[in-house]
């Protein structure tokens, strides 16, 4: 069993523990969510050094991306305290030293430039870009996890769409 698989199993146990008390997610088996989280790495054409995940929730996709891209410094923005507490607990228990959890909205964070910004079905694309102002430049890639109605959201934006069943993975630059 690889280190990644061991950490995924350990994460699953931690999530079950927290779910008993805090009801973070309704996933009983996280295998599909893990595969969904790391799927875009197949076509991501950068090796980020600094990445941001917005609305990290129960850790999908950020925790698994951080496991895979270990040389990257990951910043997880999650304003919900029970979710950000869970993320901090998971980070410590999985030994993920490349993660910093911010218990706030990204708009409230101190600005820094990221090479990669990720988000999983949090809000409309143009609204997401707006709240990320100050965190990206022309070299930053956005990697967004979207549902089937994403085409309308991308009007006027240069984006590549990779489809896998009901999931659209969007890779784009903004400036």
3-state class percentages of the chain: helix first, strand second, coil last, to nearest 5: 40, 20, 40
In DSSP terms, 99 is beta-bridged to: 74
Across the strands, what pairs with 153?
A: none
Is 120 labelled as part of a ligand binding site? yes
Whats the size of the chain, residue-wise?
175
55 has binding-site annotation: yes
- Does 106 show up as a binding residue in the annotation? yes
Q: How far is CA 167 from CA 29, 83, 90, 155, in A?
A: 18, 24, 26, 18
CB 37 within 8 A of CB 69: no
In this structure, are residues 105 and 77 in contact, taking their beta carbons and an 8 Å threshold? yes
Binding-site residue set:
55, 60, 106-107, 120
Output the known binding site for S-adenosyl-L-methionine.
55, 60, 106-107, 120
């Amino acid at each position: 069993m690889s280190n990644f698989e061991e950490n995924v199993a350990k994460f699953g146990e931690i999530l079950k523990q927290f779910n008993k008390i805090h009801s973070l997610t309704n996933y009983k088996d996280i295998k599909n969510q893990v595969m969904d989280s790391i799927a875009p790495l197949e076509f991501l054409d950068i090796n980020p050094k600094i990445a941001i995940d917005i609305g990290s929730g129960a850790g999908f996709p950020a925790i698994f991306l951080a496991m895979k891209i270990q040389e990257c410094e990951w910043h997880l923005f999650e304003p919900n305290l029970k979710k950000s507490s869970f993320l901090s607990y998971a980070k410590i228990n999985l030994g993920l030293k490349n993660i910093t959890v911010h218990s706030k909205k990204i708009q409230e964070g101190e600005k820094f430039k990221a090479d990669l910004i990720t988000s999983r079905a949090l809000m409309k694309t143009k609204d997401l870009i707006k709240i990320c102002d100050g965190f990206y430049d022309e070299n930053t890639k956005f990697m967004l996890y979207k549902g089937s109605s994403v085409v309308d959201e991308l009007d006027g934006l240069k984006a590549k769409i990779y489809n896998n069943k009901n999931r659209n993975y969007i890779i784009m630059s903004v400036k």
